[in-house]
Amino acid sequence: MHIVPFVVVVYILAVGLYGIVTSRHLVHQIICLIVVQSSTYVLLLGVGYKTGAVAPYFFDIPVHTPAVDPVVQALALTDVVVEAAVTALLLALAIQAHKRFGTLDPQELVQLKG
């Protein structure tokens, strides 16, 4: 159990990278990048998890209750929003590439540029 989440982190990263390299469509490639980035959330939250602890909200539980690390959660939280910003910008670039060259296949785009 101590290693399972980290194995999944490595697996998600690997499968996402595989998708990026073998992709024949820019939008598919962007989605694979989203998958790669999602591995970082699992890693962050996995590092901060404590067995038997609760979420760090002390609204109706005593302050000294063991709770998981709030710092990595704050990092993952903002990470998710940045992911949206990155995706939006990449999509804009993909649309513009499609307008200019009429294709979304990365290999054809490379050939067009020479």
Partner 1 sequence: MTPGQRRWIFLAALAGLAAFYLWGLAGLPGFGNYPGPYGDIINRIAVAQTKATGVVSAVNFEYRGFDTVGEEFILFVAASAMAVVLRHLRNERERDPRDATADWAVPPASDAVRLAALVFTGPVVVMGWFLASHAQTSPSGGFQGGVVLATAFFLIYLSGEYLLFRRISPVDLTEAFEAVGAGGFAAIGVSAVAMGLPYLTNFLPLGTTPGAVSSSGTIALISFFVGVEVAAAFILIVGELVDQTLLVRQGDH
Partner 2 sequence: MGSTAHIAAVVTPYTIPAGIMDVLQVTLLVLVAAGATAVVLIREPVRQVIMLSAYGVLLAVLFLAFQAPDVTLSELTVGAVALPMLLLLALAKVKRREK
Q: Using the rule CB under 8 A, is 109 a contact of partner 1?
A: no
Which SS3 state, helix, strand or coil, does residue 1 take? Answer: coil
Phi, psi of 13 (to 5 degrees): -60, -45
6, 18, 68, 86 from 22: Cα distances, Å = 24, 6, 38, 21
Instruction: Give least dist CB 41 to partner 1, A.
Output: 14
> Residue 59's binding partner, choosing from partner 1, partner 2, none, with beta-carbon cut-off 5 to 8 A by kind?
partner 1
Size of the site for partner 1 (CB under 8 A): 57
Give CA–CA dist 84/114, Å, rounded.
Answer: 32
- In the window 22-81, what residues touch partner 2 (CB under 8 A)? 24-25, 27-28, 30-32, 34-35, 38, 41-42, 45-46, 49-57, 60-61, 65-68, 73, 76-77, 80-81
Q: Using the rule CB under 8 A, is 36 a contact of partner 1?
A: no
Draw the binding track, 62-101, toward partner 1 (x: CB under 8 A; -: no contact): -xx--xxxxxxxx--xx-xxx-xxx-xx-xxx-xx--xx-
Give CA–CA dist 10/43, Å, rounded.
Answer: 9
Q: C-alpha angle 40/88/10, rounded to 5°?
A: 20
Which residue lies nearer to partner 1 by CB, 10 or 112? 10
Joined tokens for residue 61: 């539980």
